[in-house]
Structure 1
Amino acid sequence: MADVDASRAAQREIYGEPLGAVVDRCRATLGLTQGRVAALLGISAPMLSQLVSGQRIKLGNPSAVERLRVMVEATDAVAAGRLTVAEAITRIEAAGGPGELLTGATTRRASTRETAEQIQSLFRRVASAPDYLAAADRVAPDHPEIAELLRVYGAGRTDDAVAHLLG
């Protein structure tokens, strides 16, 4: 029991509170199982169980740490009525590190094309192609690189986005 208490104290130092409390709050607010939380974080269910129970102290994968941060922020936003549960889940799923896709309880390296498609999908959830083109025209004189991003990812073809990522 002393080891578990020490682990939870270490988690409190790292994360602000024990991971069991963090995960329980997220699960309750978002209506998720512990297995689904593990999948969203990109770690195995046994790993999450060990973290929650205090058998392990911290997440070793920086992408999982980032997804946990986003999950906590999204949970707080749902609790405050600023996001729906579906919007929160979408935000968490999009929070993987660069080039990573969630596949079950693990992550894998995405192809350049998949990464380009993800970026374009994010852009296109926010505004339409004509909106991005108009915005690009407005910012181009002072910020040509930003204008290029708006054109390529907001209104361009996926092949152009792939070329931009490789460029």
Structure 2
Amino acid sequence: MADVDASRAAQREIYGEPLGVVVDRCRATLGLTQGRVAALLGISAPMLSQLVSGQRVKIGNPSAVERLRVMVEVTDAVAAGRLPVADAVARIESAGGPGDVLTGTTTRRASARETAERIQSLFRRVASAPDYLAAADRVEAEQPEIARLLRVYGAGRTEDAVAHLLG
């Protein structure tokens, strides 16, 4: 019991409160099972169980930590009525470090092509290629690198985006 108490105290120092409290609040607000929370974080269900019960202190995967941060943020937004649950879950799914792709309950390194496609997809949900090209023309003189990003990811071919990522 002392080990669990020490683990929870360490979690409080790292995360602001014990992970069991954090996960329970997120589960209840978002209507998720613990298994779904694990999948969204990109860690195994047994690992999450150990964290929640205080058998483990911290999440080792930085991308999972980032997804937890986003989960807490969107849970607060849902609780305050500022965000629908479906949008909150979508934000968690898209969070994490560059190159990380959620696959069930694990995280794997995405290929450069997958990463480029995801970035282009994000850009293209916001505006059309002509809009990005026009914006790039407007900022070219003062911000040439930003103009290049707008052209490559907003209007360019996937091969160009892959080359940009690898360059």
Q: Structure 1's 127 and 82: CA in aligned 2 closer, same or farther, altered over 3 A?
A: farther
CA distance in 1, matches of 2:49, 2:40: 14
- Aligned partner of residue 58 in structure 1, secondary structure: coil
CA distance in 2, matches of 1:122, 1:79: 26
Structure 1 residue 59 displacement after superposition: 0.5
Structure 1 residue 81 displacement after superposition: 2.2
CA distance in 2, matches of 1:54, 1:149: 44
Q: Residue deviations 1:52-86, cap 9 Å, x none? A: 01111111111111111111111111122222111
CA distance in 2, matches of 1:6, 1:115: 39
Structure 1 residue 124 displacement after superposition: 1.5
Structure 1 residue 100 displacement after superposition: 1.0
Is 1:161 the counterpart of 2:161? The answer is yes
Alignment match, 1:47: 47
Q: 1:133-148, aligned counterparts within 5 Å?
A: 133-148=133-148
| Runs of 4+, deviation exceeding 4 Å | none
Identify unmatched segments of 5+ residues in structure 1: none
- Aligned partner of residue 47 in structure 1, secondary structure: helix
Structure 1 residue 125 displacement after superposition: 1.8
CA distance in 1, matches of 2:114, 2:51: 31
Taking every aligned residue pair, what percent have the same amino acid on both sides? Answer: 88
Identify unmatched segments of 5+ residues in structure 2: none
Aligned residues: 167
The letter for the 2-side match of 1:66 is E
CA distance in 1, matches of 2:68, 2:117: 24
TM-score by length of 2: 0.96
TM-score by length of 1: 0.96
CA distance in 1, matches of 2:84, 2:132: 26
Q: 1:1-167, aligned counterparts within 5 Å?
A: 1-167=1-167
Deviates more, 1:120-129 or 1:6-15: 120-129
CA RMSD of aligned residues (A): 1.0
Structure 1 residue 47 displacement after superposition: 0.3
